Structure 1
């Protein structure tokens, strides 16, 4: 006799907010951060902030993430005021896509 399964939307919601999923998201975010730090550029001798970008990565986690604020999530960010220019580039500086490349690696 085949097994029967009935999904509980409430149960799935509880799972997606659970500490277990939050811990997994945190683990993946920490791995992404590690790779981002590893590949982050460090300016040369004329750079007024050598290593500042590399040292500014942070990880945050919550059980109130997602579009509906009902999911466990983790976020990797860089707090350097010039982080967006490193990530996306400017007309004079090529884009490095540090967080993009680290996230594409998966954090698994």
Structure 2
């Protein structure tokens, strides 16, 4: 006798928003945050903001994320006002791609 499976859209939606799934997303985001902190540039002795970028990473989560607001998500970000310039670079400073490299290395 073969097994049969009938998918329940409501059940899948509940699974995607469940506390278990949200906890897993937070766990993965925390790993990415740790990697980002370990590879973040700190600055030199004359830098007035030495260490601020590295100390400004954070993790947030919600059960209603994604394009359709139908799944648990966790986000890693940086609150330093110059974080985008560190990530993407400027005409004078090369891009470091800290969050990109952290996501590629640590999201497992």
Superposition TM-score tier, normalisation by shorter sequence: over 0.9
For residue 6 of structure 2, what is the aligned residue in structure 1?
6
CA RMSD of aligned residues (A): 0.7
Secondary structure of 1:53 counterpart: helix
| Runs of 4+ that moved beyond 4 A | none
For residue 68 of structure 1, what is the aligned residue in structure 2?
68
For residue 59 of structure 2, what is the aligned residue in structure 1?
59
Q: Deviations over 1:67-94 (max 9, x none)?
A: 1111100000000000000000001100
Mapping of 1:23-102 within 5 angstroms?
23-102=23-102
Unaligned runs of 5+ in 1: none
Partners of 1:20 and 1:86 lie apart in 2 by 34
Shift of 1:106: 3.9
Unaligned runs of 5+ in 2: none
TM-score by length of 1: 0.98
